[in-house]
Amino acid sequence: MEKFDARAIIMRHDLPDSDYVVADSNYPALVNLFEPSDCIGTLVHESYLLAVAHYAADLHRGQSLKVNGISHAIAEVIIHPKWRKRRDEYDIALVRFKKPVHGVTPLPIYRRTDELGSVITLVGRGDHATGLAGERRAKNDGKLRRATNIVSGVDDHFIEIYFEKPGEDGITDLEGVGAAGDSSCPVFIDVDGVLYIAGLNSWGDGGKGINVGQYSSRDYQTRVSQYLEWLDSEVDFPGPPQNYYDTANGKTGIELRTALHSIIDDHRVIKYSSKEHGTSDALAKLDADPDNHNNVILIYSRRSEAISNFGTSIGWNREHLWCNSYGIDKRGPAYSDLHNLKPADASVNTARSNKIYDISDTSEAKYNKPGHPEAKLTSEDTDSWEPPAEVRGEIARAAFYMDVRCSGDKANENNLQLTNDLSSINSDSIFFGKLDTLLEWHIADPVDTAERARNDLLHSLLPEEQKPVCGPSRVGGGNLR
């Protein structure tokens, strides 16, 4: 039985290499631990990389690693205390940078324990070959490749995958396993379009008469879900607690709505305006331009605007996505809820006024595209506003969140409701819309990594504040009412 401890990608022999090669720009959070391109760590926090211990142990304080082309000095290498050089278990480590990484969104950790049977994606850049002969231990060419597989086994330390031959049942379209030259490369599970790190390539096992990386060989990855207690003790990860939505799982209709409301009902109120820390200060962090942290990205204009221009007539202000005039009491917690606030160009905010969200009616006399010269991807008609396609899902989920959270059971809070009945939507009402359009936008524009990162950051800014980002099964008028 042959083993190895440095992993990358071995692929099907019946597919071209080009099917597996991907651009580095697709995975900016992956970091080469050794140059020119050996072994990979993954950014899981603005200050931390996740890696396997058996390679992180060779890194040292003061050494620099390039994250998306920018050098960052290592402050500390944190090895799991139970890892030993001659043991495979506890093969996990963290690398802490001296300064936070900006402009790259960290990738989330998979916190569930249902990996068995899941389709996973491996990403690495070490030795590449096919399943006919297995690994070559040749010098890698530096190209990033990704492959897929299905989790065939799990235990207290590892995820196991099996290399199927073409034609066998269960083979994936881009079937592959690891190879020599790239230990620590991440293994992802996709949840609602977001990649979660479920494993780290650790070692391979050929078997009797089978080389590592040949068809019928097995691959083992450190099972990240088994090390959450240690990881959480070392890193203040953003996001809600583990098992946060457990009481809502499996429910539909009014039972789902009630469960979700109970989970997110408690408000930790931030002052709308404050000299110390108000909503504008929070938005400056939540909606910061990833390429320039002195700027924010404006919701409708999609323009990067200087934070210092807040409150000016030519700068930006705070936009309530669910308009105040539709049931939001300025004395209540909904008024300063950061899920419902976004930076907006001041003049565009005025132009939107209190229009609902809907597809603009091009036959109307008051149809305009753009809705404002500073927001070229918007349109409007008499009573509705159509935002840019890239933010429609995010806006829709904020509206569904407000509907579920604000039920009138708090002081100065109304029972906000989404509706398709436009005749019921008027100033001083509790209704907003358009419900069906918002549901369509949610489905067409699913949660992405940036949106999830914003919500995780919000949770870390206000630990008791809740996180509305969720899958289609938890959104929609028919499912919640």
- pLDDT tens across 209-249, in order? 788 889 999 999 999 999 999 999 999 887 666 677 888 88
pTM of the model: 0.66
For residues 69 and 372, the model is more confident at 372
Contact between 474 and 401 (Cβ < 8 Å): no
Within 10 angstroms of residue 122's Cβ, the number of other Cβ atoms is 27
> Does residue 125 carry a pLDDT above 70?
yes
Position 242 scores a pLDDT of 63
Q: Could you identify the residue written with the tokens 């504008």?
A: 280
Q: Does domain 3-226 have CATH number 2.40.10.120?
A: yes
Where are the domains positioned within the chain? 3-226, 246-480
Q: Could you identify the residue written with the tokens 């950790």?
A: 109
* C-alpha neighbours within 13 Å on the C-beta side of residue 147: 34
Can you tell me the distance from the alpha carbon of 467 to that of 398, in angstroms, rounded to the nearest whole number?
10
3-state SS, residue 146: strand
Per-residue b/e over 263-289, b at no fewer than 16 CB within 10 Å?
bbeebeebeeeeeeeebbbbbbebbbb
Structure tokens at 121: 């994606």
Structure tokens at 48: 């931390």
Within 10 angstroms of residue 412's Cβ, the number of other Cβ atoms is 12
Nearby residues of 415 by Cβ (< 8 Å), 6 or more positions away: 327, 406, 407, 408, 430
What's the start-to-end Cα distance of the chain, in Å?
58
Share of the chain above pLDDT 90, in %: 65
Contact between 315 and 374 (Cβ < 8 Å): no
Structure tokens at 54: 């058996």
3-state SS, residue 349: helix
- pLDDT tens across 248-265, in order? 888 888 999 999 999 888
- pLDDT tens across 145-164, in order? 999 999 999 999 999 999 99
- pLDDT tens across 434-474, in order? 999 999 999 999 888 788 888 888 877 764 444 454 444 45
Position 480 scores a pLDDT of 55
* Amino acid at residue number 351: A
Can you tell me the distance from the alpha carbon of 40 to that of 47, in angstroms, rounded to the nearest whole number?
16
- pLDDT tens across 3-49, in order? 444 445 889 999 999 999 999 999 999 999 987 666 899 999 999 99
Q: Is the peptide bond before 370 cis (omega within 30 degrees of 0)?
A: yes
| 68 phi-psi bin (left φ>0, alpha ψ -120 to 50, beta other) | left
Average pLDDT along the chain:
88
Can you tell me the distance from the alpha carbon of 452 to that of 448, in angstroms, rounded to the nearest whole number?
6
- Tell me the pLDDT band of 305, cut-offs 50, 70 and 90: very high
Position 471 scores a pLDDT of 44
DSSP string, 207-266: -TT--TTSTT-EEEEEEGGGGHHHHHHH----SSPTTTTGGGTT--HHHHHHHHHHHH--
> Does residue 433 carry a pLDDT above 90?
yes
- pLDDT tens across 413-426, in order? 999 999 999 999 99
Position 1 scores a pLDDT of 37
3-state SS, residue 456: helix
Q: Could you identify the residue written with the tokens 């073409």?
A: 166
Q: Could you identify the residue written with the tokens 């996505």?
A: 321
| 26 phi-psi bin (left φ>0, alpha ψ -120 to 50, beta other) | alpha
